[in-house]
Each structure stands twice: as structure tokens, then as C-alpha cells.
Amino acid sequence: MANNESVKLPKNKLLEKLRAGKVAVGTCAYSFSPDIVQLAGYCGLDFCRIDNEHAWRQDSALENMVRAARSSGIAAMSRVDRDNPYLVRKALEVGSQAVLIPQIQNAREAQDVVDAAKFPPLGKRGFGNLNQSGFYGIIDGKEWIEWSNSEIMVGVMIETEKALGELDGIMSIKGLDFVLIGAADLSISLGLPKPMQEDPKIQNAIRQIIEHARKHGKYVMLGIGNPWIANAKRYIDMGINMIEVGHDFTILRDIWTDVVKQLGN
């Protein structure tokens, strides 16, 4: 129990929604703006993927974005670089409700992610609760460990030809909750000249990933572009559980570019 009864560990609303068989809808933030995350939550989105792979800033920005997520009821999902278990732990200690690792190639690498994210006996994460996730030690340590092992979501990215050949092994890892299909890198890995999500090779790969995920009880996430609703419905019908609607940069870029074009500037 918490030393202060008014302090309670939050339920992961994203995980609750998925467990109820519903589709989760979110977005991605590259700008490291807490206001963007907070707005996404107030708009009713289920999750915001905070990018720490291609937009990495090792400062207080992530922690402040997670605070914004908590205040608006949206799940903060942090993507961090692979091969560094300390980044996984740090992302979780600041309060992320989901962690995502890119460029996973096989079951061993997926297991390493779970080991970094889960406390024993489910993983190998080191204990330290003097942080935002652990309410700075106000929450009893045992309660926080149990909450962390049950409420925190762990995901990896499938985005290479090699990973496609290792799907059964990756999906079989206990403690892995979801996969994000990295259609851009997957396009390049499969020999396409640039990201081409609508190419038959990528569409076939998406179906293959969904099939293996269903077999092993994992959720599948995919990013989509405009037209948002039509694309979302199409991929939901294919079996996608988590829809990521653009990024803050791409949404603004497309709107501003279109306005300039329409006004003839």
C-alpha cells in the first residue's frame, strides 16, 4: 500500500482497451513538446509514441512529456534505441506506460528487451523507485514491481527482411505485448527504393505479421497517412489493433504545404 492513500498507481488505459478487444488510436510526437502530448490526450487519443530514436534528446524533455500524458489521460509510449537496456529502464522509470525498441531481428533480441523492461522473475530489470514511475518511493516497492510487470507494455519493431523470417520466434517471447510494423525500413530492406507502404511486398508482409501475431496473442501497431479514416478502416479490417495517425511534424507539414499550394503562394 502507498504511504499516502491518495497516491495510487494508474491503470494502463491503452492496455485495458486492447484487452477488451477494441482498437487503440494514437499519434507520434517528434517535437518533444509536452503540449502536443497533452493536446493528444485531451482530444481522446489512446497513446502517443514519443520518438527517442530519430529525435533523441537526453534531457528532461521525455519526463515532462510523460507528465503531460498523465495529466491528460493518454498512454506515453517511448521508442528508444536498441542494444542499450539502460535506456529501456530509464524510459520506464520516468513513467512511460509502454516502451518500444526498433530494429529487432530475432527472438534473442526480443527477449533482451523483455529482460530490460521486466523485474524478476519475468526479467532482469534493476530496482529503483525514487522516480516518477514509482512515485518517488511513496508506493510500496512490492506493489510497484507487480504493477510494472503487469501494466507496462513492451513492444518491438518488425522492419527488416531478416525479422520477417524470425516472426514465430519473436512473437513467442513471453512478456512481449505488441509489435510495430516499420513499413519504411521494411520497404528498403525488401529492395524498394524508398518507403512504399502500399507496395504489394509491404502489404503481404503486413498480412504475414498480423497472422503470426494472432497465432501468439500479440497486438499489432501500424502508422498510417492521409486519408486517415479510410486507411484506418482498411488496416483495422486486416487485423491491426493499434493505429498511429501520423506524426506532429508530418501532420503540420501536410496541412501547411497544402494551404500554401491552395492559396497560390
Tell me the pTM: 0.94
Domains of the chain, CATH where assigned: 13-263 (3.20.20.60)
Spell out the alpha helix ranges (H) of the chain. 13-19, 34-42, 61-72, 85-93, 107-117, 141-151, 161-164, 167-171, 183-189, 200-216, 228-238, 248-263
Q: Which of 3-7, 83-87, 135-139, 225-229 has the lowest mean pLDDT?
A: 3-7
Q: Which residue has the higher pLDDT, 84 or 209?
A: 209
Burial 171-183 (b: 16+ CB within 10 A, else e): bbbebbbbbbbbb
Cell 536498441 belongs to 82
Note the pLDDT tens digit of each residue in 183-222.
999 999 999 999 999 999 999 999 999 999 999 999 999 9
Q: What is the pLDDT of residues 234-251, one digit of tens each?
A: 999 999 999 999 999 999
